[in-house]
Amino acid sequence: MSCRQYSLKIWNTFGINAYANNITIADSIDTILSCRWKQSVKKNEPTLLLGEGSNVLFLHDFHGHVFINRIKGISVTEVADAWLLHIGAGESWHQLVRKTLIHGLAGLENLALIPGRVGSAPIQNIGAYGVDFATVCEYVDIMFLTDYSQKRLYVHECCFGYRKSVFKNTYKNGYVITAVGLRLKKNWQPVLSYSQLRHLDPKTVTPREVYQTVCAMRRSKIPDPKHIGNAGSFFKNPSVTMSFANDFLTQHPTIPYFLKNNGEIMLSAGGLIDHCALKGYRVGGAAVYDKQALVLINTGGASGQDIINLARFVRRRVAEEFNVWLEPEVCFISSQGEIDPVEVIV
């Protein structure tokens, strides 16, 4: 059965021109609970929930119903030591960062310009420049799509880690994130441990200055998906043991790395790819971005298979050079739903 009915090109930042059987904009919980969702379930039709589509790669047309989460609303409550925010999952993450700064609420500035909607932030535990979502999270509200009951998961229940959470396993299927709760401390302390942020004076720097620096760094490395299709960082930074790292860094002292709290070393995936001289390398309509090796781009008209073929080549080239196997950060969507990305590019 053909599903070339509704284009998903504007609903994924890669700009892949896949199609779906149906698309519904869900601006409220009631919309999600509408007869259209129930009809899809009754027909045993695949369903997919998207926010901005900023972390997905469509491999084929989707033979089901896509729901776009646009549940909005922001409320702020003041307590003695913090500002408590309750945000609808369909709000833009970057616009949330901007709005909090405009109203004098600091704490999200390191996470500026991360594409996507608020509801996607806990799934990946988005992070940048020393701060991740878990740092500011108070809770995540979810609704089960089997019986439509609702539940609030507090931060300790979310099992946050590097690009992972409980929403990638236990609560991966059959639920929708409807809202998140954030705690922004009044006693703001700047996080200046990465890149150009190190040049800022911790004694005088303002949240807006951190925000502006972060935006400048991201714009210099990651293209605007409105002009060049991409999903940001395509691969995760690989973690290795200390013993492996000692030998590795002796042989490759110029590869950037980070020390994790559990004692493991995290290597820079972008640094590994860059060392292989792959910037600008093309496969079909896909290419490694010439300003940031961690970003794969749609140069125009790329198919999902073009991106896959490029990712497979990059992964194998890095493994040949360093004996380190990269794993995609991006979610791969087949005709029936999400599939294991590593199995696709082996």
Contact at 8 Å (CB) between 274 and 290? no
pLDDT higher than 50, residue 70: yes
Nearest one of 332, 313, 309, 310 to 321, comparing CA atoms: 313
64 within some domain: yes
Whole-number pLDDT of residue 134: 96
Whether residue 161 is found in the same domain as residue 264: no
Can you say whether residue 135 is alpha, beta or left, with left for phi > 0 and alpha for psi between -120 and 50 degrees?
alpha
Whether residue 29 is found in the same domain as residue 85: no
120-179, pLDDT tens digit by residue?
999 999 999 989 999 999 999 999 888 889 999 999 999 999 889 999 989 988 889 999
DSSP string, 285-309: TEEE-TT-TTEEEE-SS--HHHHHH
Report how many domains make up the chain.
3
264 within some domain: yes
Residues in the chain: 346
Of 36 and 250, the one with more pLDDT: 250
CA–CA separation, 307 and 312 (whole Å):
9
pLDDT higher than 60, residue 2: no
Whether residue 87 is found in the same domain as residue 196: yes
Question: What's the N-to-C CA distance of the chain in angstroms?
Answer: 29
282-327, pLDDT tens digit by residue?
999 999 999 999 999 999 999 999 999 999 999 999 999 999 999 9
Whether residue 109 is found in the same domain as residue 232: no
Q: Which domain holds residue 293?
A: 227-345
DSSP string, 240-273: E-HHHHHHHHHH-TTS-EEE-TTS-EEE-HHHHH
76: which 2 tokens? Answer: 């702020």
At 335, which CATH number? 3.90.78.10
Whether residue 78 is found in the same domain as residue 65: no
Active site residues per annotation: 163, 233, 329
39 within some domain: yes
Whether residue 323 is found in the same domain as residue 293: yes
Contact at 8 Å (CB) between 276 and 288? no
Rg (CA), the chain: 20
Whether residue 198 is found in the same domain as residue 87: yes
pLDDT higher than 90, residue 259: no
22: which 2 tokens? Answer: 């149906």
Whether residue 187 is found in the same domain as residue 117: yes
Whether residue 295 is found in the same domain as residue 265: yes
Final residue of a structural domain among 218, 240, 266 = 218
Whether residue 187 is found in the same domain as residue 104: yes
Final residue of a structural domain among 199, 218, 237 = 218
Nearest one of 113, 132, 155, 144 to 49, comparing CA atoms: 144
At 27, which CATH number? 3.30.43.10
Its pTM stands at: 0.90
293 within some domain: yes
- Kindly indicate the confidence band of residue 194, based on its pLDDT and cuts at 50, 70 and 90: confident
The mean pLDDT of 209-215, rounded to a whole number, is 97
Whether residue 118 is found in the same domain as residue 208: yes
41 within some domain: yes
Whether residue 256 is found in the same domain as residue 340: yes
DSSP string, 37-97: HHHHHHTT--EEEESS-TTEEE-S-EEEEEEEE----EEEEE-SSEEEEEEETTSBHHHHH
pLDDT higher than 80, residue 42: no
AA identity, residue 319: A
Beta-bridge mates of residue 184: 83
CA–CA separation, 85 and 291 (whole Å):
36
Final residue of a structural domain among 159, 188, 218 = 218
336 within some domain: yes
1 within some domain: no
